[in-house]
Structure 1
Amino acid sequence: MSDNQTLYAAFAGHLNAALDALEVAGTLPGGLKRSAITVEPPRDASHGDLSTNAAMVLSKPAGMKPRDLAEALVVELSKLDSVTSAEIAGPGFINLRLSSATWLAELRAIAAQGADYGRSSIGGGTTVNIEYVSANPTGPMHMGHCRGAVVGDALATLLEFAGHKVIKEYYVNDAGAQVQVLARSAHVRYREALGEAVGAIPEGLYPGDYLIPVGQQLADEFGTRYVAAPESEWLTLFREKAVAAMLVMIKQDLALLGIHHDLFSSEAELQASGKPDEAEAWLRAKGLVYDGVLEAPKGKTLEDWEAVELPLFKSTAFGDDQDRPIKKSDGTWTYFGADLAYHFQKAQNADALVDIWGADHAGTVKRIKAAVAAMTGADGEPTPFEIKLVQMVQLLRDGEPVKMSKRSGNFVTLAEVVTEVGKDVVRFTMLTRKPEAQMDFDFAKVVEASKDNPVFYVQYANARVHSTLRKGLAEGGFTPSGEHLELLGEEELELVKLAAQFPRIVEAAAAAREPHRIAFFLGDVAAAFHGYWNLGNDRVEKRFVNAADANLTGARLFLAAQIGQLVRNGLALLGVEAVEEM
């Protein structure tokens, strides 16, 4: 292996070399596609260290029986010094066992590469635009936004680590009815700041206390000028001022989670620049927008529903169940009409798009995917576009639902939660389940110091590593040493074998756009490390620090140090700081 090539990548190279040799020998025809070939741990660890499906994948296009091809491959792979055995399993899978020296070389690779261990070039420098959060700019961030924010941010870090360029974008929905409501709500607080007794906030407006300082700012800037003025004179101005104030608040809230976007794109600016009109004209020219009448909604009759001709996008041509209007009957853009133009704009500057949405938007997935496919695929393959749906989080305290926040009016703010339990707990917890799965966030459980709390369990692994290193230094001046790693036994090597999977986990998680895979893997590593450490409770010879054997102690401390490095690398991808003491 080269200095920066990890074990699984090296064996993928060895396998390719073996296949090349079979082609040269005439055993295999040339030009066979190898993209579906994998090199991974076997499902059953007793079968070996690595497994490949190469013979299964290539046998049919090669016109060979899988086992015949597998036998030829085994001959080639057995020539490698690092392979101690190569066996055929089932219809043609190949299982390899590797020498201890190979695994120890990987342990040294972790030490040599440090914070870069697991970094990949699989992304090839391609640009991925990730749009996440994109909450309406009408108030502070709340826990309904939190999960998508963390998933999107961790995905951005993961993709960069895997060799992509990433644009982190926030789409500001500042052109809809909700920001008009915000402006009217701010006007109430503006009048209040000038001494008017406004009483209860009128129904339909935003009641949260967070608008009080916005009202004060408006009062300081404009005095009494707009107190009695007609709405037409102040609505646009107050909307712009209030949205700007909300964005400052939103950015501050996101910063509490360590989240900073590269780009904030305004829907209002998008519409003002005529982008939706351009998109409509382009789609009409392609025959993908036409003027038509929607079917009556279910349960409606001609007496209580008026058919109106609207510009419709032909989304049924792309798998949707009906065509979708891009404008309303009053001529304003539907959310979908503006959104398709926005995505077309994003695709001009990226090779792939990823949107992180709340699960309540599931009904619009088909139509926007259809629009992006139509608008980016005119001259070839459409821009790859994925939408990740994130389920809501239920907040609990000792199993009971959490009461709403006074500051926000009707929800628990993100700032309140981060202030109580900390950024790292929030971020890691949000990634402990697949985003499409329901999640409970219990304030008591997420800070509990027990192995049942994945946040604590992983953090404690790194803290325990540092504690072990300090113990070695204090009890005999022992430090990590890679000079006598051959003294490590099979139980220690099992830790190395697990750690060596990190680079392939990174690549798989990046390819699937699933950062939670990193959290899951860290849980496995933490469990394995704690399990090995606990052996020393009953077996003195398994303790990391053995004053009677300096060489073995140095080797075990070296192993511990690399496990700590691996945990820190994984936590960094999740945006979680690794603590050294707990």
Structure 2
Amino acid sequence: MTIRLRSGTGRALHSTTGLRPALPTLYARFAADLAAILDQLEASGDLPAGIDRRNVAVEPPRDPAHGDLATNAAMVLAKPAGTNPRALAALIAPKLGELGHIASAEVAGPGFINVRLVSDTWRDELATILDSAALYGRSNMGQGQRVNVEYVSANPTGPMHMGHCRGAVVGDALASLLEYAGYEVTREYYINDAGGQVDVLARSAHLRYREALGETVSIPEGLYPGDYLIPVGQALAADYGDRYVAAPEEEWLGLFRTRAVDAMMDMIRADLGLLGIHHDIFSSEAALHAAGKVEAAVDRLRADGLVYEGMLEAPKGETPDDWEPVELSLFRSTQFGDDQDRPVKKSNGSWTYFGGDLAYHAEKAARADQLIDIWGADHAGTVKRIQAAVKALTGGRVPLDVKLVQMVRLLRGGEPVKMSKRSGSFVTLADVVNEVGKDVVRFTMLTRKADAQMDFDFAKVVEASKDNPVFYVQYAHARGRSLHRRAAEAGLALPATPDLALLDEEELALVKLAAQFPRVVEGAAAAHEPHRIAFYLFDLAAAFHALWNRGNDDPSRRFLLADDPARTGARLALSDAIGQIIRNGLAVMGVAAAEEMQ
């Protein structure tokens, strides 16, 4: 599959673009109409004043045959109003039917209200999509709230691998989605440079340093064997000669650790750049400890009576022979929903990893209204304790949502992919991006919910078929873009202003699906689930392809009609609007739209 992309598209959507939200969505406008009617009923005494309306919803009906919109207003408000849902719905529906843009409002089932809009409403919405262009779908629901999204945060011990890739894409797409929905987003990476793994990295770099000076070395088990440390050793040899070849470890460990971590972070930034991912902040765990932030955070909790000296319970089940109770500094995480209190300091006086993580989240919470962490599924056991710590440190003011991301299994034609020689133990992200491209990787990572297992088959993700969502959505956009080229080649004299009245109900059904995009954006942003954008784009592409394919059986249904430039103009406007929605959705995902496919 060869894809020619639009110039300058597919980049992350940062709030600094200066774009502003579009006009209220069709669903928001109907919700305002409904609210005005409920106000009227309150004024007339048919509905008690002050009833909580927060659970009143406006959405598409599950079955399009039932109408264009549906509301549960009567179902939600009947009980507090002291009436039954159908009786309340019978008061609301006639008032909705009086509005000029509503063709009918009918009470259904136990009290739902199904609404049909006049056809011109959808033609107006099509014009709105075209006029709003890149702004269509943007929302102000975030109201500028500050959201910190921390993602990737891989140990700085080597290049990025595909185990990191999915979380990186999910986190970056979520950040873009939240920006699109009106939040002020900070993208953050936490560098785990204070643990024992960076000492192992430094020792591995020392071996490569000696190798660069001519020594023949073998990498013992427990050190990092990847070739990526060869340039690090060469740089150290160039800078220090043989000064540290025979020097005791305490003389070079700190220096080599710093140099190796810096080199690894340069590599990680470059790898992430291949995916179009760029963080705003890189926070160092080592710097956090050096600045006394851990002690300060624990002291705050101790002052509130939330850290105490105590002993953990014995492990459940058979007690190990070497287990003995030890007094530790414990955080009262059970007061905040955890299943046991957690140690913040080890018996040797050093801080636990949880202690450092607690302090780091305190730092983030001081500069955000919401925190979101993207973690691998293997970290599921630590979610409750960190959420408990954030509740304690912020008094519940700053919520923390942790999104767990399952691993990706790499396949080639159904067979597991062999490991990379460069890494020593895994397939690098760079290898994958260089083979199939940034956009294919990013889109594919969002074709399933983050907490569901995923297979990434190199053959399938570039397959030109309906079964490949990447191809199917890109093909829909490329098909639409081809129409203008073909119209020009055919010498069609298209009207300057398309007559949208020429679009029939079958064509307007596609507009109805396109008009759901702003609602999908807000729902995805509220749930912190960027994969919903990918799912929606696939459905929109499928509907567009279905309409396109009608022309194969009935030539009068084709988008281009040589003998009817007026109808062609209307259908091209429809195609342009669908293409705009696809571009907007792909941009949220960080994916460029295809101009043509060969």
What's the TM-score, normalizing by structure 1? 0.97
Specify the alignment match of 2:27 in structure 1: 8
Measured against aligned partners, the alpha-carbon deviations of 1:337-373 in whole angstroms (never above 9, x if no partner) come to 1001100110000000000000000011111111111
| Aligned partner of 1:357 among 375, 380, 385 | 375
User: Kindly tell me: are residues 300 and 194 of structure 1, through their superposed partners in 2, closer, same or farther at Cα, counting changes over 3 Å?
Assistant: farther
Contact 1:480/1:557, CA 8 A, preserved across alignment: no
User: Kindly tell me: are residues 519 and 9 of structure 1, through their superposed partners in 2, closer, same or farther at Cα, counting changes over 3 Å?
Assistant: same
Specify the alignment match of 1:73 in structure 2: 92
User: Quick one: higher RCO (CA 8 Å, sep 6+), 1 or 2?
Assistant: 2
Specify the alignment match of 1:265 in structure 2: 283
Q: How far apart are 1:4 and its partner, in Å?
A: 2.1
Q: How far apart are 1:483 and its partner, in Å?
A: 3.4
Aligned pairs for 1:383-422 within 5 A: 383-422=398-437
Specify the alignment match of 1:203 in structure 2: 221
| Aligned partner of 1:192 among 188, 205, 211 | 211
Q: How far apart are 1:307 and its partner, in Å?
A: 2.1
Measured against aligned partners, the alpha-carbon deviations of 1:228-262 in whole angstroms (never above 9, x if no partner) come to 11111111111111100000000000000000000
Specify the alignment match of 2:364 in structure 1: 346
Contact 1:473/1:479, CA 8 A, preserved across alignment: no
CA distance in 2, matches of 1:13, 1:126: 24
Contact 1:469/1:479, CA 8 A, preserved across alignment: no
CA distance in 1, matches of 2:379, 2:459: 31
Specify the alignment match of 2:587 in structure 1: 572
| Aligned partner of 1:371 among 374, 384, 389 | 389
| Aligned partner of 2:503 among 488, 498, 508 | 488
CA distance in 2, matches of 1:237, 1:477: 70
Specify the alignment match of 2:259 in structure 1: 241
Q: How far apart are 1:296 and its partner, in Å?
A: 2.6
Specify the alignment match of 2:202 in structure 1: 183
Aligned pairs for 1:284-323 within 5 A: 284-298=302-316, 301=319, 303-323=321-341
Aligned pairs for 1:506-525 within 5 A: 506-525=521-540
Q: How far apart are 1:191 and its partner, in Å?
A: 0.7
| Aligned partner of 2:58 among 14, 19, 39 | 39
Specify the alignment match of 2:9 in structure 1: none
Specify the alignment match of 1:218 in structure 2: 236
Q: How far apart are 1:286 and its partner, in Å?
A: 1.2
Specify the alignment match of 1:86 in structure 2: 105
Contact 1:340/1:372, CA 8 A, preserved across alignment: yes
Contact 1:374/1:382, CA 8 A, preserved across alignment: no
Measured against aligned partners, the alpha-carbon deviations of 1:500-531 in whole angstroms (never above 9, x if no partner) come to 00000000000000000000000000000000
Measured against aligned partners, the alpha-carbon deviations of 1:265-305 in whole angstroms (never above 9, x if no partner) come to 00000111111101111111111111111223346647522
**Range with bigger deviation, 490-499 or 310-319:** 310-319
Specify the alignment match of 2:449 in structure 1: 434
Say if 2:127 is the partner of 1:112. Answer: no
Specify the alignment match of 2:74 in structure 1: 55
Secondary structure in 1 matching 2:345 = coil
Contact 2:22/2:135, CA 8 A, preserved across alignment: no
CA distance in 2, matches of 1:524, 1:203: 50
User: Kindly tell me: are residues 129 and 472 of structure 1, through their superposed partners in 2, closer, same or farther at Cα, counting changes over 3 Å?
Assistant: same
CA distance in 2, matches of 1:169, 1:376: 19
Q: How many residues align?
A: 577
CA distance in 2, matches of 1:339, 1:3: 39
Specify the alignment match of 2:547 in structure 1: 532
Say if 2:465 is the partner of 1:450. Answer: yes
Q: How far apart are 1:473 and its partner, in Å?
A: 1.9
CA distance in 1, matches of 2:362, 2:207: 38
| Aligned partner of 2:300 among 282, 290, 315 | 282
Q: How far apart are 1:61 and its partner, in Å?
A: 1.5
> Which letter does structure 1 place at the counterpart of 2:268?
I
CA distance in 2, matches of 1:527, 1:302: 58
CA distance in 1, matches of 2:308, 2:251: 37
| Aligned partner of 1:252 among 270, 276, 301 | 270
Secondary structure in 2 matching 1:85 = strand
Specify the alignment match of 1:328 in structure 2: 346
Specify the alignment match of 2:514 in structure 1: 499
Specify the alignment match of 2:10 in structure 1: none
CA distance in 2, matches of 1:469, 1:454: 24
| Aligned partner of 1:162 among 181, 187, 192 | 181
CA distance in 1, matches of 2:409, 2:319: 40
**Range with bigger deviation, 533-542 or 547-556:** 547-556
> Which letter does structure 2 place at the counterpart of 1:486?
A
Contact 1:209/1:408, CA 8 A, preserved across alignment: yes
Q: How far apart are 1:482 and its partner, in Å?
A: 4.6
Contact 1:183/1:242, CA 8 A, preserved across alignment: yes
User: Kindly tell me: are residues 62 and 531 of structure 1, through their superposed partners in 2, closer, same or farther at Cα, counting changes over 3 Å?
Assistant: same
Contact 1:480/1:556, CA 8 A, preserved across alignment: no
Say if 2:553 is the partner of 1:559. Answer: no
Q: How far apart are 1:25 and its partner, in Å?
A: 1.6
Instruction: Kindly report the root-mean-square deviation, in angstroms, between the aligned alpha carbons of the 2 structures.
Output: 1.3
Secondary structure in 1 matching 2:27 = helix
Contact 1:478/1:553, CA 8 A, preserved across alignment: no
Contact 2:204/2:225, CA 8 A, preserved across alignment: yes
User: Kindly tell me: are residues 361 and 426 of structure 1, through their superposed partners in 2, closer, same or farther at Cα, counting changes over 3 Å?
Assistant: same
User: Kindly tell me: are residues 78 and 427 of structure 1, through their superposed partners in 2, closer, same or farther at Cα, counting changes over 3 Å?
Assistant: same
Contact 1:6/1:106, CA 8 A, preserved across alignment: no
Q: How far apart are 1:6 and its partner, in Å?
A: 2.1
CA distance in 2, matches of 1:370, 1:432: 32
> Which letter does structure 2 place at the counterpart of 1:263?
I
CA distance in 2, matches of 1:301, 1:509: 46
Q: How far apart are 1:479 and its partner, in Å?
A: 4.3
Q: How far apart are 1:389 and its partner, in Å?
A: 0.2
